[in-house]
A and B are shown apart, each in its own frame.
Chain A
Amino acid sequence: MISLTHFLVVGALLFTLGLVTVATRRNAVGILMGVELILNGANVNFVAFNHYVTGGVTGQVFALFVIVLAAAEAAVGLAIVLSIFQTFKTIDVRHADLMRE
């Protein structure tokens, strides 16, 4: 029998791996992918709690909002990435440090 804990474990792993991605990637696009993973982890939790604990559709609605925001984030983030690339001719985040000092 699949229980809530199974999904939570999957969500936690997704979150942790996304976090690791964000933390270790130098590529801006890679960082964005990590963010997507984190959001997915959260989404899995939302939907799982919705299904196993609260019932109704509130959790799913939240998941949908998260998806919407993720899409928006992806659009803006990728536009920024393009902008960075045009400015620095690279998307290595270590080089995008004009604001430093």
Chain B
Amino acid sequence: MEHANLQVVGHAAEELGRLAVHHVSYLWLIPLFPLVGAAINALVGWKLQRMFGKKIVHRIAVTAMLAAFAVALRAFWQILHLPAEERFLQDTLWNVLTAGRVTVDLAFALDPLSMMMTLVVTGIGTLIHVFSIGYMADEPAYWRFFSYLNLFIFAMLLLVMGDNFAVMFFGWEGVGLASYLLIAFWYTDPEKAKAGMKAFVANRFGDFGFIAGLLLLFWALGGAWTPRDGGLLRNTDYQPAAELNAVAPAATAAEADALAPRVEGVKVGPTLNFRELRDQVVIEATGVKERLVHTHIWGVSILALIGILLFVGAMGKSAQLPLYVWLPDAMAGPTPVSALIHAATMVTAGVYMVARLNFLFALSPSAMGWVALIGAATAIFAASIGFFQYDIKKVLAYSTVSQLGFMFIGVGVGAYWAGTYHLLTHAFFKATLFLGSGSVILGCHHEQDMRKMGGLKKYMPITRWTYLLACIAIAGFPVMNGFYSKDEILFKAFTSRHLELFGVATPWLGPAIFVIGIVAATGTAFYMYRSYYMTFTGEYRGNSGHHDEHNVDPHAAVAAKSSALSHSVHADDGAAHAFGATSHAPAHGALADTPVHAAAVHAHGAHGHDAGHATAHDDDAAHGHGHHGGTPHESPWTMTLVLVLLAAGSFLTLFLGIPTLWSHAAPALEHWLEPALPAVEVASWRFHEVPHALEWMFQGIGVLAATVGWVAARALYKDGKSEVPARLKARFEGAWTVVYNKYYVDELYAFAVLRPAVSFARALSRFDGTVIDGLVNFVGAVGRTLGRLDAAIDKYLVDGLVNAVAQATWGIGRQMRHVQTGRIQTYLYGALGGALVVVLLNFLIS
């Protein structure tokens, strides 16, 4: 029996060594270029745009991206020519802080994993920048948009390339900020601003977990490393506690480095540096692994706790249950943003982080079990919501959540390369899909409701074909890349027997996740093809009865309903509503380019977006496509070119993941990532071995699932002719409503989280109003009474005394003035008399 999936076994026998580091000095350029681009556009963009037009703005931004991409390619070229074990580029700029033996540098590092991510971020980022040129052509705050985009890329590059947790966390928060800015880009619309806030707050929940996990890890590595507990450490000569007491704290990074305790030449102890962390965990001789594995806190394995807390951070950033709610709302942002942030890059940060720390997660089957379980649950849950959404971007958003779930299944079961591979393939096909939807939305005059589309294949052929290819990819047909990553993930899930939950071995969890995954994959195929057929086949359904229908639009109904419950809850519906409500009355074509048009748009109770369009119309006559015309149209070449490139990428990346089963060699990406993913070598578990026949069967199952989904969608939605969907909807009205309203999760959150929070706030307010104010008022009243008392004392006692003294003085003076005769001799007699008395006394006494 061949062990095709166990290529790594051979390596495991070898002792893993330290990472060889190649110091280079140009990595900092990669994040620098976007930062400079962002800074230029942010500071003087508005002026440049006014002086030279919008071209200068996007040229700056795209040039920055191209430069970053070029440097990234240079790094890739260098890394490619290094031996596999030495593929680690590092570039330390300067020391940020040194505390004790811990140093934090502003440093960038590229290993195969971050190299791949960097290429994805800069490459796809560049394409999306180019796409935005066409998509945002009518935006007055063009410079702001591109500034944000560059800022986002900068932050994402920090996240990906950071050599330590500090830089990564800076990027982690930076993408959160950029995401907030971009989601709320049209901030004049309260719904969109709310969506931005929602994303920010949901991410805060996650970040809390991330930080907590980080601190816990730091704590676990620190402390007294004495070998007292039955020899947890083999190297008894290591006594850092005594060392700490004996040696003064380091002042510089070099000193700190020299101070750091070493076992077998490897730095151990608390660190923020990924490489140092990796070395001390991976190299068995340090004993750090044993210690971590055997450390428990409150009876829970500390590794599991660290893993789960870090995964909470990933949940927020990568939109997993239960923190996924912000991602669908994030569709309020411009579509390129949705593509860039909420499909291709930022949301993969969680997956990247788990893959980055694979050697930690691999040590804790419990954490892995939770990651995989949450991923699977998210995959099926989000897929099911995607079934009945009408907003094309919403479909894609839930699809993204679902696909992220797949990625977490991958990294959760230990197939780190597979999860990462899915991240890569997803970046391509989901970017294609999102940008395709952007193209459709632009072509249909900012209409997002698929029921108002249809038949677009004859208007926008390029968009249609690229969208179809991406659908094939995501559905999982072997001709595109999605199949290879998804199949690998599900296969690895099935063959994993090592997952645990609550420290209890659950060998059934892997196969169970496989089943869930297959169902989710079927669903994925179904709703993606559904969106394709609804959008591109049949007759064009736009341009008619638009406004009449609008009021019975379920969106509106849901929006109204949820707004009664909570403000923040209906942010997503409201956002869609906002898009749906954009005024595309037939009159638009006739009235275009006249002031009346602008007035009409405003009169429709329009939002920032509409207003933006109206003004853009007025001051930017140079936009190349009159998309206010009545019929859909293909997008400008900058957009279609990007679509074609991305679709091509979706195809080409399949060659990175040709399974061993076919080629009898490890997939290219697995081989590439292997140095960065020592997880399997670290861990004690191995994937279960299965016969080849079973592998073929699983691949067949995967294709079958995709086919089922496709056929069902084709039957129900092709050309919009079938009556079945409507009948099904009528038949299962209740279930449909529940799913359509996303299982009322937002409402649940409103009920379970927001309402208690608001009630609590109200209670606090009441407490403040009654008790605190009462106390304050009481104190005030006491003070006033005391004041009155004091005034009375002052008036009657003190004043009386003073007056008495004054009157006494006056009275005495009145009597005494008789003495003042005005005769000088009288005074003389007085003085002499006194002198006489004194003399007399003097003699008497002496």
**What is the chain A residue whose CB lies nearest that of B822?**
A97
Does A24 lie at the interface of the complex (its beta carbon under 8 Å from any beta carbon of B)? yes
**Chain A proximity of B817: nearest CB distance (Å):** 5
Whether B825 contacts A101 by the Cβ 8 Å rule is no
Whether A99 contacts B825 by the Cβ 8 Å rule is no
Whether B822 contacts A99 by the Cβ 8 Å rule is yes
**Chain A proximity of B824: nearest CB distance (Å):** 6
Interface residue range, chain A: 10 to 19
**What is the chain B residue whose CB lies nearest that of A93?**
B824
Chain B, residues 802-846, CB within 8 Å of chain A (1/0): the string is 000000000000000100111111001100100000000000000
Whether A100 contacts B824 by the Cβ 8 Å rule is no
Interface residue range, chain B: 10 to 19
Whether B817 contacts A101 by the Cβ 8 Å rule is yes
Whether B817 contacts A93 by the Cβ 8 Å rule is no
Whether B829 contacts A23 by the Cβ 8 Å rule is yes
Chain A positions within 8 Å of B824 at CB level:
31, 93
Does A72 lie at the interface of the complex (its beta carbon under 8 Å from any beta carbon of B)? no
Whether B825 contacts A22 by the Cβ 8 Å rule is yes
Whether A96 contacts B822 by the Cβ 8 Å rule is yes
**Chain A proximity of B553: nearest CB distance (Å):** 105
Complex-state Cα separation, A19 to B831, whole angstroms: 12
Chain B positions within 8 Å of A94 at CB level:
823
**What is the chain A residue whose CB lies nearest that of B817?**
A101
Chain B positions within 8 Å of A100 at CB level:
820-822
**What is the chain B residue whose CB lies nearest that of A97?**
B822
Interface residues of A in 85-101 (CB under 8 A from B): 93-94, 96-101
Complex-state Cα separation, A98 to B828, whole angstroms: 19
Whether A24 contacts B822 by the Cβ 8 Å rule is no
Complex-state Cα separation, A101 to B821, whole angstroms: 8
**What is the chain A residue whose CB lies nearest that of B824?**
A93
Chain A, residues 28-65, CB within 8 Å of chain B (1/0): the string is 00010000000000000000000000000000000000
Chain B positions within 8 Å of A23 at CB level:
825, 828-829, 832
**Chain B proximity of A42: nearest CB distance (Å):** 15
Complex-state Cα separation, A50 to B321, whole angstroms: 116
Q: Chain A CB within 10 Å — which of B821, B825, B832 has the most?
A: B825
Chain A positions within 8 Å of B829 at CB level:
23
Complex-state Cα separation, A22 to B822, whole angstroms: 15
Pair count A-B, CB < 8 A: 26
Chain B positions within 8 Å of A31 at CB level:
824
Name A93's contact: one of B820, B823, B832 (CB within 8 Å).
B823
Complex-state Cα separation, A98 to B817, whole angstroms: 13
**Chain B proximity of A31: nearest CB distance (Å):** 7
Complex-state Cα separation, A96 to B825, whole angstroms: 12
Complex-state Cα separation, A15 to B822, whole angstroms: 24
**Chain B proximity of A33: nearest CB distance (Å):** 14
Whether A97 contacts B823 by the Cβ 8 Å rule is yes
Chain A positions within 8 Å of B821 at CB level:
97, 100
**What is the chain B residue whose CB lies nearest that of A22?**
B828
Complex-state Cα separation, A31 to B822, whole angstroms: 15
Complex-state Cα separation, A99 to B817, whole angstroms: 11
Chain B, residues 539-565, CB within 8 Å of chain A (1/0): the string is 000000000000000000000000000
**Chain B proximity of A27: nearest CB distance (Å):** 12
Complex-state Cα separation, A25 to B814, whole angstroms: 29
**What is the chain A residue whose CB lies nearest that of B820?**
A100
Complex-state Cα separation, A23 to B827, whole angstroms: 9
**What is the chain A residue whose CB lies nearest that of B825?**
A23
Complex-state Cα separation, A24 to B822, whole angstroms: 15
Chain A positions within 8 Å of B828 at CB level:
19, 22-23
Complex-state Cα separation, A19 to B836, whole angstroms: 14
Chain B positions within 8 Å of A101 at CB level:
817, 820
**Chain A proximity of B63: nearest CB distance (Å):** 99
**Chain A proximity of B822: nearest CB distance (Å):** 3
Complex-state Cα separation, A100 to B822, whole angstroms: 5
Chain B positions within 8 Å of A97 at CB level:
821-823
Chain B positions within 8 Å of A24 at CB level:
825
Chain A positions within 8 Å of B817 at CB level:
101
Complex-state Cα separation, A31 to B828, whole angstroms: 12
Chain B positions within 8 Å of A99 at CB level:
820, 822
Chain B positions within 8 Å of A19 at CB level:
828, 832
Interface residues of A in 1-33 (CB under 8 A from B): 19, 22-24, 31
**Chain A proximity of B821: nearest CB distance (Å):** 7
Interface residues of B in 674-723 (CB under 8 A from A): none
Complex-state Cα separation, A98 to B820, whole angstroms: 11
Complex-state Cα separation, A23 to B828, whole angstroms: 7
Complex-state Cα separation, A71 to B292, whole angstroms: 109
**What is the chain B residue whose CB lies nearest that of A25?**
B825
**What is the chain B residue whose CB lies nearest that of A101?**
B817
Complex-state Cα separation, A23 to B817, whole angstroms: 21
Q: Chain A CB within 10 Å — which of B817, B820, B821, B822 has the most?
A: B822
Complex-state Cα separation, A100 to B825, whole angstroms: 14
**Chain B proximity of A37: nearest CB distance (Å):** 14
**What is the chain A residue whose CB lies nearest that of B818?**
A101
**Chain A proximity of B790: nearest CB distance (Å):** 41
Complex-state Cα separation, A93 to B817, whole angstroms: 18
**Chain A proximity of B187: nearest CB distance (Å):** 86
**What is the chain A residue whose CB lies nearest that of B814?**
A101
Complex-state Cα separation, A97 to B828, whole angstroms: 16
Complex-state Cα separation, A94 to B825, whole angstroms: 9
**What is the chain B residue whose CB lies nearest that of A94?**
B823
**Chain B proximity of A54: nearest CB distance (Å):** 25
Complex-state Cα separation, A93 to B822, whole angstroms: 9
Chain B positions within 8 Å of A93 at CB level:
823-825
Complex-state Cα separation, A66 to B820, whole angstroms: 30
Chain B positions within 8 Å of A96 at CB level:
822
**Chain B proximity of A83: nearest CB distance (Å):** 15
**Chain A proximity of B631: nearest CB distance (Å):** 116
Complex-state Cα separation, A23 to B825, whole angstroms: 5
Chain A positions within 8 Å of B832 at CB level:
19, 23
Complex-state Cα separation, A99 to B823, whole angstroms: 10
Complex-state Cα separation, A98 to B829, whole angstroms: 21
Complex-state Cα separation, A22 to B828, whole angstroms: 8
Complex-state Cα separation, A48 to B823, whole angstroms: 35
**Chain B proximity of A84: nearest CB distance (Å):** 12
**Chain B proximity of A76: nearest CB distance (Å):** 15
**Chain A proximity of B433: nearest CB distance (Å):** 112
Chain A positions within 8 Å of B822 at CB level:
96-100
Complex-state Cα separation, A23 to B832, whole angstroms: 10
Complex-state Cα separation, A15 to B720, whole angstroms: 142
**Chain B proximity of A36: nearest CB distance (Å):** 16
**What is the chain B residue whose CB lies nearest that of A34?**
B828
**Chain A proximity of B292: nearest CB distance (Å):** 101
Complex-state Cα separation, A22 to B821, whole angstroms: 16
**Chain A proximity of B826: nearest CB distance (Å):** 10
Complex-state Cα separation, A31 to B821, whole angstroms: 17
**Chain B proximity of A17: nearest CB distance (Å):** 14
Cβ contacts A to B, 26 pairs, < 8 Å: A19-B828, A19-B832, A22-B825, A22-B828, A23-B825, A23-B828, A23-B829, A23-B832, A24-B825, A31-B824, A93-B823, A93-B824, A93-B825, A94-B823, A96-B822, A97-B821, A97-B822, A97-B823, A98-B822, A99-B820, A99-B822, A100-B820, A100-B821, A100-B822, A101-B817, A101-B820
* Chain A positions near chain B (C-beta within 8 angstroms): 19, 22-24, 31, 93-94, 96-101
* Chain B positions near chain A (C-beta within 8 angstroms): 817, 820-825, 828-829, 832
Given contacts A23-B828, A31-B824, A93-B823, 17 further A-B contacts (CB under 8 A): A19-B828, A19-B832, A22-B825, A23-B829, A23-B832, A24-B825, A93-B825, A94-B823, A96-B822, A97-B822, A97-B823, A98-B822, A99-B820, A99-B822, A100-B820, A100-B821, A101-B820
In the A-B complex, the 5 residue pairs with the closest CB atoms: A97-B822, A100-B822, A23-B828, A23-B825, A101-B817
